[in-house]
């Protein structure tokens, strides 16, 4: 699992279907995943290692440093997650997710990739 997290943590910012995680491997590990293309994306916040008793937690989405929305993430297997449905995120927008009572924030930046086909 550490290898997977390392590969996600070192991913380059991109436009479509990207993810990034906090770079700390001790304590809470928080990730953000963008699914979409150019300015239309869904955003998923994931806390990969919550304590066993944690079933839900508020998670906030920030766009270019400004609070956008807060939602309730729920446990799915060993993680807590929440997905904001596809919306206009803009391009060159820094999106960040932060779970309540956790100091770590995961961020990813949207990019314009044009009309090329996705593989």
97: helix, coil or strand?
strand
Are 64 and 94 in contact, with CB atoms under 8 Å apart? yes
Are 102 and 92 in contact, with CB atoms under 8 Å apart? no
Its domain, for residue 72, covers 30-109
Question: How many CB atoms lie under 10 A from the CB of residue 104?
Answer: 16
Tens place of pLDDT per residue across the chain (119 aa):
343 343 343 334 444 578 899 877 788 999 999 999 899 999 999 999 999 999 999 999 999 999 999 999 999 999 999 999 999 999 999 999 999 999 999 999 998 887 765 54
Q: Does 63 fall in a domain?
A: yes
Q: Does 69 fall in a domain?
A: yes
Q: Does 83 fall in a domain?
A: yes
CA distance 9 to 34: 14
CA distance 50 to 33: 18
9: helix, coil or strand?
helix
> What is residue 15's predicted lDDT score, i.e. its pLDDT?
46
Q: Please state the domain count of the chain.
A: 1
> What is residue 95's predicted lDDT score, i.e. its pLDDT?
97
Answering whether pTM is above 0.85, one says no
> What is residue 13's predicted lDDT score, i.e. its pLDDT?
41
């Amino acid at each position: 699992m550490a290898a997977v997290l390392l590969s996600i943590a070192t991913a380059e910012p991109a436009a479509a279907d990207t993810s990034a995680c906090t770079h700390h491997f001790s304590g809470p590990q928080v990730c953000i995943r963008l699914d979409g293309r150019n300015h239309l994306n869904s955003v998923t916040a994931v806390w990969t290692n919550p304590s066993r008793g944690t079933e839900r937690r508020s998670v906030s989405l920030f766009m270019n440093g400004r609070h956008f929305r807060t939602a309730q993430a729920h446990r799915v297997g060993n993680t807590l997650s929440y997905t904001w449905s596809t919306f206009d995120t803009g391009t060159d927008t820094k999106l960040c997710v932060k779970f309540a009572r956790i100091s770590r924030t995961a961020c990813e930046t949207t990019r314009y990739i044009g009309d090329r086909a996705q593989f």
